[in-house]
Amino acid sequence: MSKKIYVSPKVGVKIEVHGPFDLKKIYKIAKDYLISKQYDFTEKKYEWKDKSAGKEVDLVFEGERKISELMKFHIDFIAVGRKMNPHEEKIKGDMDMRVISYLELDYKDQWSSNKFLNFLFKVYTDGIIKWDIDKQSGRLYEEAAELQDKLRELVS
Amino acid sequence: MNKKHTLAKDISVRWVGIFDLDDLYKKSKYWLDYQGFGNENFEEREYTESIKGEAKEIHWTWYSEKKESDYFSYVIETRALLVGAKPVEITKEGKKLTWMKGDIKIWITGYLLSDCKDKFKNKFIQTLYEKFLVHDRIEKHKADIYDKIYSFQDEVKRYLDLRQP
């Protein structure tokens, strides 16, 4: 079974906005950023509800990029909008965004077929290539932070 | 033997509110037809309508395939589930129309199907063939089907009038 090493908190780094915001830009920034960094982009969820207090939206974008035969980067973006009503050119309401980033090791499931391979995998990842995992974690952290900065800049 | 190269699995679009079901159903099918996924390569594998209390539940499943060559096919599978559907009358451009109010969710899965005619009997030779001889073509087809999947998703959003972002 593949192993996830979270670079962000498991629930993601939270960016919250109450008030007018530009949803079109948020959508575009998150999507374009993942594509520009060569992530395989999946728009996993795109949901809208028409409620009496305003519209609600749930978006989930998944980005994954192969780094090696053993390792993949993942950056997921989740946006939950509530009580959204049109406000001039923008939307007024509450928006909760999350950026979740993690490394996925053994995504091809080649090291989990028996206990011995599992043990070797542990030795390999905890010892032999630990330096590389740390280095790649740092790289992923920076990429996720860049997206968070772009989103923060947009809503601040 | 057939091999699926999945580009998107169950990407979803959901809308809870009022919409034109007839338009959504016909136009999304028309889009698939127009893009070459129709005719004999289109199968409506399931269509069920059931009454639940005062509301309707509608479910449909489509399998649509576009032959790209003797070896490659593009496949888009669509699943839709509408629950709590009730007809509502609306007035649009002075005309009275009957639309639906309910909760609809559509899942789209798209993949490239290699060896669609099932000619290879030996998996090892097929792997060699795909890895060394047609690798570039596979990558090109993957990019094409990826575009098609997201264009289709975009169309569905448009029919549901969900293109706010």
Residue B107 has a pLDDT of 96
Chain-chain contact of B17 with A42 (C-beta, under 8 angstroms): no
Residue B162 has a pLDDT of 66
Dist. CA A33–CA A31, nearest whole Å: 5
For the cut 70, the answer to whether the pLDDT of residue B60 exceeds it is yes
Instruction: Decide which of B138 and B131 is more confident.
Output: B138
For the cut 70, the answer to whether the pLDDT of residue A108 exceeds it is yes
Residue A137 has a pLDDT of 93
Residue A147 has a pLDDT of 95
Task: Give the confidence band of B81 by pLDDT, cuts at 50, 70, 90.
Answer: very high
Chain-chain contact of A23 with B165 (C-beta, under 8 angstroms): yes
Burial of A144 (0-12, 13-18, 19+ CB in 10 A): buried
Residue of B nearest to A50 (CA): B17
Residue B165 has a pLDDT of 44
Secondary structure E strands in B93-133: 95-114
Chain-chain contact of B16 with A27 (C-beta, under 8 angstroms): no
For the cut 70, the answer to whether the pLDDT of residue B164 exceeds it is no
**% of chain B at pLDDT higher than 70:** 98
Mean pLDDT of chain A: 91
Residues of A in contact with B160 (CB under 8 A): 48
Q: For chain B, say whether A7 makes contact (Cβ under 8 Å).
A: no
Number of CB pairs, chain A paired with chain B, less than 8 A apart = 51
Burial of B23 (0-12, 13-18, 19+ CB in 10 A): middle
Please report how many Cα atoms fall inside a 13 Å half-sphere around the Cα of residue A105, on the Cβ side.
19
Angle in degrees, 0-180, between the axes of helices B135-159 and B21-32, rounded to the nearest 10: 160
Reading the block at residue A15, the tokens are 């960016």
Chain-chain contact of A24 with B165 (C-beta, under 8 angstroms): yes
Residues of A in contact with B17 (CB under 8 A): 48-50
Chain-chain contact of A42 with B14 (C-beta, under 8 angstroms): no
Residue A79 has a pLDDT of 95
Average pLDDT of span A101-122: 87
Residue A46 has a pLDDT of 93
ipTM: 0.73
* Listed residue (B135, B145, B79, B136) closest to B111, CA to CA: B145
Chain-chain contact of B14 with A26 (C-beta, under 8 angstroms): no
Shortest alpha-carbon distance between residue A2 and chain B (Å):
19
